[in-house]
Structure 1
Amino acid sequence: MDLDLRKLRYFVAVAEELHFGRAAERLHIAQPVLSRQIRALEDELHAQLFVRTKRVTELTLAGRQLLEDARPLLAGADATRRRVARAARGSKTFMIGFMPGLTVTEAVRAFGATHPELDIELIRTTWDDQVQVLHDGRVDVSVVRLPIDQAGLTVHPLFEEPRVAALPADHRLAGKSQIDITDLADDHLLQPPDAVPEWRDIATELRARTPRPVPVVHSVEEKLEHVAAGRGVSIVPHSVAAFYQRHDVVTVPVGNIAPNVVALAWIATRRSRLLRDFAAIAPTVTWTA
């Protein structure tokens, strides 16, 4: 049996919303149509995917497994469509993703010199989508900041760089030549604690209280706005701090936290010669200003 990608997209929408009405609005279809498509998918798979009551919609064990498998499958289909569309237009394009604080100029020049036939395009990524752009085909290769979910990817570390604390300009530690992560134990960290395990592990007194919510941010600029406003502190790679300087935020080296690792990543199943050539060039160039 071949999976119907349309039904699979419908299923993912319901699984993410856990509400047939909201999923139908998201998909721009009528709710009865959506319900019929989900029932048809369950019949095809011979498995119940949802438990529905008047109050809640929940995934079954089979539904959770399908959701785990469906996302990369749909992303792969999207990637194939994008690559075929580019080929159909007759354009020979190589797409590179890169994270904030990194510069790709030297790599683009070196790679372009060996492949003058290519149209090299760039996409700036974020912590939210630096892996997604690979799976959905928006880029061929991405310069990422670890840690990431490496499932389905080939990942080659390039270099390490120290991380610094971004603090409001009037913070008690502003002006220090270096601090220890324990100095920030009482501060509100404006990122998930697991992103800075050293802070998470020493801030035991914070765990005894109700944790303050971490704001949802999608860019370095948004994060620094929160820092500047005095809402908390953040740990960022040194190159990010150097690139995004502002008068109301200061950065201080932190002496006892692990460095950030920058790596090259691409879809593991791809066997493109261009990917191999770019991977060979990447360790020989400079990635920070």
Structure 2
Amino acid sequence: MTHADVDLRKLRYFVAVAEELNFGRAAQRLHIAQPVLSRQIQALERELDAQLFVRDKRRTRLTPAGEQLVADAELVLAGAEALRRRVAQAASAAGTFTVGFMPGLTVTGPVRAFGDAHPGLTVEVLRTSWNDQVSVLHDGRADVGYVRLPIDAAGLEVRPLFSERRMAVVGTGHRLAGRTSVNIADLADEHLLQHPDTVPEWGQVARETRGRRETPPPEMRSVEEKLEHVAAGRGISILPESTATYYQRPDVAYVPIADIPPGQVALAWVAARRDPLIAGFAALAVTMR
């Protein structure tokens, strides 16, 4: 086993402890003995010349150095997984190019044209979400991705494609249904059924979060789930126009929001990759946006 192998293993051990903030639970999750885990973390701290955790009888918490390593470890481990995927693909001699895309975006044209231009290549598509539209690029599940901004662009090349209006999604019996447009302030008394980070303008007007810190609502697993909650009168959602157009249904209404910037769609890929296929697809995506 090489030194690099050992470092990656220690990094995975570190991430498990950082997520659990409990050495016992992390050891169970990793299927190793707790003393072994403790020794591996201590060895990693010596290699990095930094203390990563503070432990006392009541709890385990990250130091500032540990918090920084958490932020960096995700990219390192995802890069290692992407490398494994690409090597396995090359070994199988099965040329595959995967395009990620967010709900509501139609990528049929570019994918078909790219496949026609590379007849020996299998071009696949992968539906993503707000939770994984970036991680699928870092870990190699997708070669390129049609993403909705904002994203964490660290380590990525991002090429803007187009913008589109954002729509308030309300039940058909809602007071705002049938309006030709609304302002973001008109929604101030509503309950937002998505993570507020996906709608930065929401935090400036929302009364449900004013004056107190609230735990963000649980992330909906799909657009369909959001629409079910909207139709049931449990709150509102804010979606890009293409998503709203794609997911038409009779029990919800879509109203343009007039005073917030349009949503941005871009093509993204890992910047360190110099694959001519990626460059070729990016050029095609720009011409067919």
- TM category (shorter chain) comes to over 0.9
Structure 1 pair 151/209, CA: closer, same or farther in 2 (3 Å)?
A: closer
Amino acid in the other structure paired with 2:184: I
**Residue 134 of structure 1, CA deviation:** 0.4
Tell which deviates more after alignment, 196-205 or 239-248.
Answer: 196-205
| CA–CA separation in structure 2 for the residues paired with 1:9 and 1:83 | 20
Aligned to 1:264: 267
Q: Does 1:128 align with 2:131?
A: yes
TM-score (norm 1): 0.93
Check the 8 A contact 2:196/2:216 in 1, yes or no: no
Check the 8 A contact 2:189/2:207 in 1, yes or no: no
**Residue 69 of structure 1, CA deviation:** 2.2
Q: Secondary structure at the match of 2:158?
A: strand
Q: Secondary structure at the match of 1:247?
A: coil
Aligned to 1:69: 72
Check the 8 A contact 1:75/1:136 in 2, yes or no: yes
Residues matched between the structures, number: 286
**Residue 212 of structure 1, CA deviation:** 7.6
**Residue 267 of structure 1, CA deviation:** 0.4
Picking from 113, 120, 140, the partner of 1:137 is: 140
Amino acid in the other structure paired with 1:124: R
Check the 8 A contact 2:195/2:216 in 1, yes or no: no
Q: Does 1:111 align with 2:114?
A: yes
Aligned to 1:192: 195
Picking from 52, 55, 70, the partner of 2:55 is: 52
CA offset digits 1:175-204 (Å, max 9, x no partner): 112222221111111223343233322336
What is the root-mean-square deviation in Å for CA atoms of aligned residues? 1.8
Tell which deviates more after alignment, 68-77 or 35-44.
Answer: 35-44
Structure 1 pair 99/48, CA: closer, same or farther in 2 (3 Å)?
A: same
Aligned to 2:35: 32
Amino acid in the other structure paired with 2:7: D
Check the 8 A contact 1:127/1:218 in 2, yes or no: no
**Residue 30 of structure 1, CA deviation:** 2.6
Identity across aligned pairs (percent)? 65
Aligned to 1:6: 9
Amino acid in the other structure paired with 1:45: L
TM-score (norm 2): 0.93
1:250-261, aligned counterparts within 5 Å?
A: 250-261=253-264
Structure 1 pair 208/241, CA: closer, same or farther in 2 (3 Å)?
A: same
Q: Does 1:201 align with 2:204?
A: yes
Amino acid in the other structure paired with 2:16: A
| CA–CA separation in structure 1 for the residues paired with 2:233 and 2:91 | 51
Check the 8 A contact 1:155/1:265 in 2, yes or no: yes
**Residue 34 of structure 1, CA deviation:** 1.5
Q: Secondary structure at the match of 1:151?
A: coil
CA offset digits 1:86-144 (Å, max 9, x no partner): 11111111011000001111011111121111111111000000000000011110000
Aligned to 1:79: 82
Aligned to 2:232: 229
CA offset digits 1:197-216 (Å, max 9, x no partner): 33322336851367585232
Q: Does 1:214 align with 2:224?
A: no
Which ranges in structure 2 are unaligned for 5 or more consecutive residues?
none
**Residue 70 of structure 1, CA deviation:** 1.6
CA offset digits 1:32-80 (Å, max 9, x no partner): 3222221222233333221111111011222222222222111110000
Which ranges in structure 1 are unaligned for 5 or more consecutive residues?
none
Amino acid in the other structure paired with 1:126: S
Q: Secondary structure at the match of 1:74?
A: helix
Amino acid in the other structure paired with 2:189: D
Structure 1 pair 140/201, CA: closer, same or farther in 2 (3 Å)?
A: same
CA offset digits 1:131-161 (Å, max 9, x no partner): 0000001111000000000110000000001
Aligned to 2:280: 277
| CA–CA separation in structure 1 for the residues paired with 2:211 and 2:34 | 45
| CA–CA separation in structure 1 for the residues paired with 2:62 and 2:111 | 45
